[in-house]
Structure 1
Amino acid sequence: MNRRACLRLGVRFSSWLGLSLVACGSVPKQQNFSSTGTMKLESTAFTHNELIPSRYTCDGEDISPPLIWDDPPAATKSLALICDDPDAPMKTWVHWVVYNLPPETRSLPEKIPAGNSLSNGGLQGKNDFGKIAYGGPCPPRGTHRYFFKLYALDTMLDLKPGATKAQLEAAMKGHILAQAEFIGRYCRK
């Protein structure tokens, strides 16, 4: 199929689904939330799609990595962060849940302590290790991807400390102004 025919098919398909294709051969990005903008999220400890240093995993100190991001939209009332592993054997494994970060926050330092509240007023949720804290990569076998996802929200969330990823996602629905994603990988030695 030539490029023009592929684009025509893509336009018909995207119109039917209410999605837009940006180029021939690209797959429509399925989103669980509405998003009107993007932000940039990164770590000073490793680069996007590269290996996470063992310091931030179960093979090391198992501490949270430092994260930094750029300005969210002006209407942002709070920020939320989810870190999860979609390559886990049984389900997507949740490593970290943080929400109600003040909108002026532009980073999280390394080694956020376990517990309900952060020093800036943000709250931590429960991970799949059953803790209200960051739980580092600890894949049973192979190289796994760890998605750090940051959300700029138009509201403060009515969630108590210890909320799960599912509770956070439900509360965020319809409130996402922008989002950013940063991926790290890890394989145990």
Structure 2
Amino acid sequence: METLKLKSNAFDEGDWIPIRYTARGDNVSPELELVGITQNAKSILIMLDDASHPIFPNYNHWVIWNIPVQKVIPEGIPHGKYVDSLDGAIQGIAYGRNRYKGPKPPFKAIHTYVFTVYILNCKIDSAPNNKKRDLLNRIDGHVLQLATLSGKFQSGRC
């Protein structure tokens, strides 16, 4: 598998996620930059998970798929099942129902959130009512590359 790097101009790996990108702030998705996308790529899938959730490990906040292959995923992906600005990319069911839902841990708790990008060799034929587990089953055998970017957030942090 070729190496893929995932970066953001909003925060570095392991750093604090700015409040703008959280449900305590503007609740907009951060810009994501992909470095080293394979030439065989056909689509992109992104998930955001709360890796620190005490009851539901890797609690899914956002899932979006059939993003056209591009080096930069823009900030502020609009809400809705279909994203016209991304050639009809589909947002599924997560904590953010058909939309990005940023970090929002209980006050004083520090949680780690992980963006995972999958580079696929196909588009996924799947309805917007699908969830993370449905998509993970559908992409089995179609993942060309994978990269993650993690950040932390604490509600009430100054």
TM-score by length of 1: 0.76
Unpaired segments ≥5 residues, structure 2 = none
Match of 1:114 among 65, 79, 94: 79
Q: For 2:52 and 2:120, locate their aligned partners in 1 and report how far apart those are by CA, in whole Å.
A: 27
Match of 1:186 among 148, 153, 158: 153
1:22 paired residue number: none
Q: For 1:47 and 1:124, locate their aligned partners in 2 and report how far apart those are by CA, in whole Å.
A: 25
CA contact (8 A) 1:37 1:179 kept: no
Q: Which has the higher helix share?
A: 1
Rg comparison, structure with higher value:
1
1:169 aligns with 2:144: no
Q: Deviations for 1:63-108, whole angstroms, at most 9, x for unmatched residues?
A: 11111112411111111111101211211211110111112x1222
Q: For 1:110 and 1:101, locate their aligned partners in 2 and report how far apart those are by CA, in whole Å.
A: 14
Q: For 1:108 and 1:74, locate their aligned partners in 2 and report how far apart those are by CA, in whole Å.
A: 17
From the superposition, tell whether residues 51 and 101 of structure 1 become closer, same or farther in structure 2 (CA, over 3 Å): same
CA RMSD of aligned residues (A): 1.3
| Aligned-partner SS, 2:147 | strand
Letter in 1 for 2:54: P
Unpaired segments ≥5 residues, structure 1 = 1-35
Q: 1 or 2 for the larger relative contact order (CA 8 Å, sep ≥6)? A: 2
Equivalent pairs, count: 152
Runs of 4+ in structure 1 displaced over 3 angstroms? none
Deviation at 1:54, TM superposition (A): 0.6
